[in-house]
Amino acid sequence: MAASAAGKRIVFTGGSGKAGRHCIPYLLSRGHQILNVDLAPLPHPTVHTLKADLTDSGQTFNALSSHFHLSHYDNPRRPDGSGVQTPDAVIHFAAYARNMLVPDSECFRGNVLSTYNVIEAACKLGIRKVVIASSETTYGVCFAQGDCDYHSFPLEEDTYDNDPEDTYATSKLCGERCARSFARRFPGTDIYALRIGNVIEPHEYERDFPEYVSKPETRKRNAWSYIDARDLGQICDLCVKKDGLGFQIFNATNDTITTKVPTKEYLKSVCPNTPITREMGEWEAPLSNKKIRDVLGFKEEHDWRKYVNV
Write the pLDDT tens digit of every residue in 92-103: 999 999 999 999
pLDDT at 2 (0 to 100): 43
Report residue 81's pLDDT band, with 50, 70 and 90 as the boundaries.
Answer: confident
Question: What residues does 49 pair with on adjacent strands?
Answer: 36
Write the pLDDT tens digit of every residue in 144-155: 999 999 999 999
* Structural domains of the chain sorted by starting position, each given as residue range(s) with its CATH number in brackets: 9-305 (3.40.50.720)
pLDDT at 80 (0 to 100): 77
Percent of the chain with pLDDT over 70: 98
Identity of residue 169:
A
CB 122 within 8 A of CB 115: no
CB 78 within 8 A of CB 63: no
Question: Is the preceding peptide bond at 154 cis, omega within 30 degrees of 0?
Answer: yes
- What separation in angstroms does the CA of 83 have from each of 1, 76, 218? 14, 6, 52
Q: Is the pLDDT of residue 5 over 60?
A: no
Q: Give the H/E segment covering residue 12.
A: strand 9-13
Report residue 287's pLDDT band, with 50, 70 and 90 as the boundaries.
Answer: very high
Report residue 218's pLDDT band, with 50, 70 and 90 as the boundaries.
Answer: very high
